[in-house]
């Protein structure tokens, strides 16, 4: 877990502490029996290519700066990615696809994300997910979204400097808007529809931008290309430059 803070004032220091406590709560969570059983089974049995790894096998905390202006919302950790390495979007092809784009846009210190000790640092960016445990078939159940969204709600309350949100997929888009509503943040009516490069200017000044998720299913079929993802983060970078 990395919590970076560039602002040296008491309110920010308190937010850093509160966010650190939240991530400790995430890591110790056992509220969803199906997810607990699956993540621990994967950690025991492993994949042959990673048989020498000591799998994380726990909920995967969020990553980034407490005073970040950009929030990236994914779906859930991959069984042999984040569930293996212990860091969100780390250790698989989806991770490198995402971080290559973040790096080109200036939001990450390097274009790859292989392990917790690889030196990666996010820049003005925070990455989270509506579900923090690896789910079977990459498909959390509705009750698991409902249970885990408590952590996303708390993050929205603590990340006071947010100006832009990138939702990686329709589910991330919907879960972010639900979390906003549940903490009393304004949401548009009717709700904005998800699409790649779709935008919604929210009433509190935050720009919500949609992107296809960088899953192998999307990247290997060409549904999502590097140029398409670069356009998403370039749009956010340009927005932040003027807001």
At residue 13, the pLDDT reads: 79
**Above 70 in pLDDT, residue 2?**
no
Q: Which fold has domain 9-242?
A: Uracil-DNA Glycosylase, subunit E (3.40.470)
Query: How many Cβ atoms are within 10 Å of 141's Cβ, its own excluded?
Result: 14
The pTM assigned to this predicted structure is 0.93
The residue among 83 and 66 whose pLDDT is bigger is 83
CA distances from 65 to 158, 189, 233 (A): 11, 31, 17
Q: Largest Cα–Cα distance of the chain, in whole Å?
A: 51
Q: pLDDT tens-digit profile of 109-128? A: 999 999 999 999 999 999 99
Q: How many CA atoms lie within 13 A of 75 on its CB side?
A: 23
The model's pLDDT over 195-205, given as tens digits with 9 standing for 90+, comes to 999 999 999 99
Contact status, residue 126 vs residue 62, Cβ threshold 8 Å? yes
Instruction: Output the pLDDT for position 10.
Output: 55
Q: What is the pLDDT of residue 213?
A: 98
Domain borders along the chain are: 9-242
Give the model's confidence band at 5: pLDDT under 50 very low, under 70 low, under 90 confident, else very high. very low
How does residue 83 score in pLDDT terms, banded at 50, 70 and 90?
A: very high
For residue 87, what are the contacts with CB-CB under 8 A and spacing of at least 6?
1, 60, 63, 113, 115, 116
């Amino acid at each position: 877990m990395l919590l970076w803070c560039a602002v040296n004032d008491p309110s920010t220091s308190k937010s850093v502490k509160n966010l650190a406590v939240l991530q400790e709560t995430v890591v110790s969570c056992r509220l969803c029996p199906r997810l607990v059983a699956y993540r621990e089974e994967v950690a025991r049995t492993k994949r042959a290519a990673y048989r020498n790894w000591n799998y994380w096998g726990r909920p995967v905390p969020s990553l980034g700066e407490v005073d970040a202006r950009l929030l990236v919302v994914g779906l859930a950790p991959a069984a042999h990615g984040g569930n293996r390495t212990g860091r969100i979007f780390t250790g698989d092809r989806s991770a490198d696809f995402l971080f290559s784009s973040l790096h080109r846009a200036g939001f990450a210190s390097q274009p790859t994300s292989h392990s917790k000790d690889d030196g990666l640092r996010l820049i003005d960016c925070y990455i989270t997910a509506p579900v923090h445990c690896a789910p079977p078939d990459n498909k959390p159940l509705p009750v698991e979204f409902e249970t885990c969204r408590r952590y996303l709600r708390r993050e929205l309350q603590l990340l006071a400097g947010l100006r832009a949100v990138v939702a990686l997929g329709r589910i991330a888009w919907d879960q972010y808007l639900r979390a906003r509503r549940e903490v009393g943040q304004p949401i548009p009516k009717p709700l904005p529809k998800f699409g790649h490069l779709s935008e919604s200017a929210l009433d509190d000044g935050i720009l919500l931008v949609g992107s296809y998720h960088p899953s192998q299913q999307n990247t290997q079929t060409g549904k999502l290309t590097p140029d398409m993802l670069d356009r998403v983060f370039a749009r956010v970078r340009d927005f932040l430059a003027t807001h």
